[in-house]
Structure 1
Amino acid sequence: MPTDALGQALLLTARNAIGKRFGRAASPVGTLAELAEPGATFVTLTQRGQLRGCIGSLEAQRPLAIDVAENAIAAAFRDPRFPPLEEDELSRTRVEVSLLTPAEPFPVASEADALSRLRPGIDGLILSYGRHRATFLPQVWESLPEARQFVAQLKLKAGLPADFWHAQIALARYGARKWKET
């Protein structure tokens, strides 16, 4: 468990929200002023190091505690890439919470410009083009450490060809603090 109170509270809030769906008693979270402030989070679930669900918010539009709880429920039961979490999976599921900084426009002159200015391991990236939109959290750099590969996979996630580029692609970047159960 994380040593700081906010990280511990966010992880407990996420796990409590999922456990409540199975009728489990909640662990005490404690009272922190930050939990009532608006926040944007992603909740990532893993099993044996493999993704099991990940859902989040890119903009802070609701209190942090509510955002984490709702995203935890969505990651566990509504991520379209996975079947809903079963109760017997809960004990082997690890929770990670990422608290996002506000996204800032990242204007670029070309794909080469974007690739040269991205900060691996630091930048989360939002790519938008018409009705296509996708994001990768900063921790995705752990599995896609090369900028070209990172952006190509993000384009695929958005439903675009990996080699696609257009002047109207809009990028925004953000940072994240993350906490993960051990």
Structure 2
Amino acid sequence: MLTETEGRVAVKLARKTIETLLLGGRVPGPRDAGTDLPPVFGENRGVFVTLTEKGMLRGCIGHPYPDSTLEQAIIDSAISAAVRDPRFPPVGGEELESLIVEVTILTQPEKINAPPKELPDKVEIGKHGLIVKQGYCQGLLLPQVAPENEMDSIDFLGHTCMKAGLSPDAWAKGAEVYCFEGQIFKEKEPEGEVIEEKF
């Protein structure tokens, strides 16, 4: 778990990365934050960066697994959320002042070992994010997606399957389901105070 101070640093690093890319015209690297980062940023963590504009999703990409340091994962995810999310056109520099930046730090995903009919009871809305895998297909939804969209556990499983390009009931037909938790830090308003969001 990150402290509130570390969470603020995480969001500021994501925003600084996007600003450097869009306004500076270069791809930021480690230590571009211009400050000494707390030790936790040297630990390997999974992370997602989410960008919203006027309440609408503008980009969301991340590292589901702890395959790089938190610092590098935030930098990579911030760049990808801003300019590589295939669902949206790249963010423009003029949008920076209207974007809300959110960083979700993930725990290691763990497979839910339960018969399909018991899976909905194993998913805690507001606590768990989900990954569904089947063959080459994989989909992930962050923990905040279910409460923000008023989903129950069956809806959440179904939407995660669809994110993977599978039928909504693939979870009941043998697809592997993994859960993880996320610690969410976000700006209350563009470039504003950073808070930890809990559901």
After TM superposition, is the score higher than 0.5? yes
What is the aligned partner in structure 2 of residue 148 from structure 1? 154
1:11 CA drift (Å)? 0.5
CA distance in 2, matches of 1:22, 1:155: 34
1:157 to 144, 157, 163: 163
CA deviations 1:12-51 (Å, max 9, x no partner) are 1100110001235x76544311111111100000011111
1:98 CA drift (Å)? 0.3
Per the alignment, in what secondary structure is the counterpart of residue 23 of structure 2?
coil
**TM-score, normalised by the number of residues in structure 1:** 0.91
- In the alignment, structure 2 segments of 5+ residues that lack a partner are 25-31, 189-199
1:115 to 120, 145, 150: 120
Matched, 1:172 2:182: no
- In the alignment, structure 1 segments of 5+ residues that lack a partner are none
Q: Structure 1 residues 31, 160: CA separation in 2 closer, same or farther (over 3 Å shift)? A: closer
- Output aligned runs, 1:71-110, within 5 Å: 71-110=77-116
What is the aligned partner in structure 1 of residue 141 from structure 2? 136
Per the alignment, in what secondary structure is the counterpart of residue 41 of structure 1?
strand
Asked whether the 8 Å contact 1:41–1:68 carries over to 2, the reply is yes
RMSD of equivalent CA atoms: 1.7
CA deviations 1:162-181 (Å, max 9, x no partner) are 23455431111110111001
CA distance in 2, matches of 1:97, 1:156: 24
What is the aligned partner in structure 2 of residue 56 from structure 1? 62
Asked whether the 8 Å contact 1:144–1:150 carries over to 2, the reply is no
CA distance in 1, matches of 2:179, 2:12: 28
Q: Kindly, what percent of the aligned residue pairs are identical? A: 31
Per the alignment, in what secondary structure is the counterpart of residue 60 of structure 1?
coil
CA distance in 1, matches of 2:124, 2:165: 24
Per the alignment, in what secondary structure is the counterpart of residue 155 of structure 2?
helix
Asked whether the 8 Å contact 2:51–2:101 carries over to 1, the reply is yes
Per the alignment, in what secondary structure is the counterpart of residue 51 of structure 1?
strand
Code of the residue aligned with 1:138 in structure 2: it is P
Code of the residue aligned with 2:12 in structure 1: it is L
Code of the residue aligned with 1:130 in structure 2: it is G
Matched, 1:41 2:47: yes
Residue-pair matches, total: 178
**TM-score, normalised by the number of residues in structure 2:** 0.84
